[in-house]
Chain A
């Protein structure tokens, strides 16, 4: 079985009488070590899809297997444990805790998996160093540039050795040059550490860093193809 496998996934939001079909019958498989970009215009359901496979949200119907495990019907705490151990998130708006140092932000997932304080600090410092943030450990998010904040977020996503990294428009708030740097960082992670990366974006040149592109439109998959590296 694949690392991520969805079968007939449907999500309906209760808006008004009808309900909005955000996802219609999505069956997708993603293997370990892949670098997948999910593309589509806003409202196409790509973020909803990512939230469901990221265990942040539950589908209305259909099944989802993560590493062979049925996700539907798990409790909140079981989902929290999966997010904590298996999935790292990187968001467009960084989603770092304000008034909290980079180091403490990175420590957060370790805090919730009950890693002892000393080990928490060591691992977080290592993750920050890997992201090239030496010397910024005690800076607060408002003292860091956008690119640096996103690197802190990536460090946070990776600190618990999560095998999957989900990035929702990670470069949406960054300039082109910084965007390139962040994307190269992700490519490196995928290539060197074997981290499975699922990237949601609507920018073709960002998606071009991936090796497979799944396109969404109106809650459905309209294409799913390998990227040909020139």
Chain B
């Protein structure tokens, strides 16, 4: 067995003798490793943020929107027609087997007042299904009920942002707030969900029964009409089936013949977000790949220095051979030297990369997460670089003729 401890000592001494040179050589690896760590951290952070936003919106979602109206040949864009009704929503839940929940939504904006506080927020008139559709729980109180929807009671659920703005630290349950001067009793508080993909505050919301919104708050629309219907499929596998079932059902209900354009759109939100996440992942990998090029350059630097070192120490190699060092004794010595350089560089790089990632998220609020995987990856990469680029100089050293090496001046 080759004495690794003694060989390591020899390597450390050799590196210590040329402190400046060793440091500069390590710098290449340090920069490479910290770049890999940092890039992967940012990539992972962004991708995680996207997935948390996906889950905050609710998973396995379809959004049904009315089609566009045409006024004198000018198409007005999605959602401008008033073709969807609560009956459509009920029919979807009743007849589409792949659908587990629906929520027709009639939205609006209004000033909400409690005591001397007021706050402008989004109001959504909807049905009890909304909580299941949004994967959202309540931190307090109860959901709106079918009974509330049937009899258009004046009750509401509040998002956390609204609670904070109107009530401060007070318990809002049972309190009466006024929306457009109409009194509503607060019956529940929604779980906080954070920002949406587009940066909207998803907690800045008030939910009321659909009929209340239609009849009492935003009265001017055609009775029964809703702006969008949110549909939740039973599982992600069911999503495509649900999309087809919903489309077929609505075509039938809206009496749209074959080859005619639909007066509604069914959007698969999860697909869109999945794509966003895929993009984030690809981005992270690309950054990582670019960073690993600098690791490679660092490795070439190590090889360069090791070649110089072998030449400088030819005589030392000769002495070692004369007293009995075998081929692998010499090889291992130089490989360990290269490895020591690359591993110390790798460790420093990991520290700097992690520190940088911490700084990015703490100071610049760029999401970045140092994963164990990226640490392992970049460290083993630097070890490989050490072995790979250390081998040739070591090989060269081991093939020296002892007598020539001893005579080398």
A12 within 8 A of partner (CB):
no
State whether B406 touches A56 (Cβ < 8 A). Answer: yes
Q: Which residue of A lies closest to B6 (CB)?
A: A111
State whether A85 touches B17 (Cβ < 8 A). Answer: no
Given contacts A56-B406, A84-B323, 11 further A-B pairs with CB under 8 A are: A51-B403, A56-B403, A76-B326, A80-B325, A83-B321, A96-B319, A109-B323, A111-B3, A111-B6, A112-B320, A117-B6
Least CB distance from B327 to A in Å reads 6
Least CB distance from A11 to B in Å reads 11
State whether B403 touches A112 (Cβ < 8 A). Answer: no
Interface size on A, residues (CB 8 A): 26
Least CB distance from B332 to A in Å reads 11
A112-B13 contact in complex given A51-B403, A97-B316, A117-B3, C-beta closer than 8 Å: no
A118 within 8 A of partner (CB):
no
Query: Which residues of A sit under 8 angstroms from B318, Cβ to Cβ?
Result: 95
Query: Which residues of A sit under 8 angstroms from B13, Cβ to Cβ?
Result: 99-100
Provide a sorted-by-A list of 28 A–B residue pairs whose CB atoms are within 8 angstroms: A51-B403, A56-B402, A57-B401, A76-B326, A81-B326, A83-B321, A83-B324, A84-B324, A89-B322, A95-B318, A95-B319, A95-B322, A96-B319, A97-B319, A100-B13, A108-B319, A108-B320, A108-B323, A109-B323, A111-B3, A112-B324, A112-B329, A114-B1, A114-B2, A114-B3, A117-B3, A117-B5, A156-B323
Which chain B residues (1-47) contact chain A, with CB distance < 8 Å?
1-3, 5-6, 13, 17
B49 within 8 A of partner (CB):
no
Query: Which residues of B sit under 8 angstroms from A89, Cβ to Cβ?
Result: 322-323
The listed residue (B6, B316, B326) touching A80 by CB distance below 8 A is B326
The listed residue (A77, A95, A109, A114) touching B327 by CB distance below 8 A is A77
Chain B interface residue count: which class? 20 to 34
Query: Which residues of B sit under 8 angstroms from A51, Cβ to Cβ?
Result: 403
- Per CB-CB distance, the 9 closest pairs between chain A and chain B, nearest first, are A84-B324, A112-B324, A109-B323, A77-B326, A80-B326, A56-B403, A57-B403, A108-B323, A95-B319
State whether B403 touches A113 (Cβ < 8 A). Answer: no
State whether B322 touches A56 (Cβ < 8 A). Answer: yes
A81-B403 contact in complex given A95-B319, A112-B329, C-beta closer than 8 Å: no
State whether B403 touches A95 (Cβ < 8 A). Answer: no
| Number of interchain pairs (Cβ within 8 Å) | 62
Which chain B residues (189-235) contact chain A, with CB distance < 8 Å?
none
In angstroms, Cα B319 to Cα A194, docked, is 25
State whether B323 touches A83 (Cβ < 8 A). Answer: yes
In angstroms, Cα B327 to Cα A85, docked, is 16
Least CB distance from A107 to B in Å reads 8
B251 within 8 A of partner (CB):
no
Q: Which residue of B lies closest to A75 (CB)?
A: B327
The listed residue with most B CB atoms (<10 A of its CB), out of A51, A76, A97, A112, is A112
Least CB distance from A119 to B in Å reads 12
State whether B324 touches A81 (Cβ < 8 A). Answer: yes
Interface residue SS majority, chain B: helix
B48 within 8 A of partner (CB):
no
The listed residue with most B CB atoms (<10 A of its CB), out of A51, A56, A81, A156, is A56
Query: Which residues of B sit under 8 angstroms from A80, Cβ to Cβ?
Result: 321, 324-327
* Per-position binary interface string of chain B over residues 323-363, scored 1 when its CB falls under 8 Å from any chain A CB and 0 otherwise: 11111010000000000000000000000000000000000
Query: Which residues of B sit under 8 angstroms from A91, Cβ to Cβ?
Result: 406
Which chain A residues (91-124) contact chain B, with CB distance < 8 Å?
91, 95-97, 99-100, 108-109, 111-114, 117
State whether A85 touches B324 (Cβ < 8 A). Answer: yes
Least CB distance from A23 to B in Å reads 14
* Per-position binary interface string of chain B over residues 300-317, scored 1 when its CB falls under 8 Å from any chain A CB and 0 otherwise: 000000000000000110
Query: Which residues of B sit under 8 angstroms from A85, Cβ to Cβ?
Result: 324
Q: Which residue of B lies closest to A81 (CB)?
A: B324
Query: Which residues of A sit under 8 angstroms from B325, Cβ to Cβ?
Result: 80, 112
Query: Which residues of A sit under 8 angstroms from B319, Cβ to Cβ?
Result: 95-97, 108
The listed residue (B6, B17, B320, B324) touching A113 by CB distance below 8 A is B324
Query: Which residues of B sit under 8 angstroms from A117, Cβ to Cβ?
Result: 3, 5-6
Q: Which residue of A lies closest to B13 (CB)?
A: A99
* Per-position binary interface string of chain A over residues 178-194, scored 1 when its CB falls under 8 Å from any chain B CB and 0 otherwise: 00000000000000000
Least CB distance from A24 to B in Å reads 19
Query: Which residues of A sit under 8 angstroms from B321, Cβ to Cβ?
Result: 80, 83
In angstroms, Cα B318 to Cα A56, docked, is 10
Query: Which residues of B sit under 8 angstroms from A95, Cβ to Cβ?
Result: 315, 318-319, 322, 406
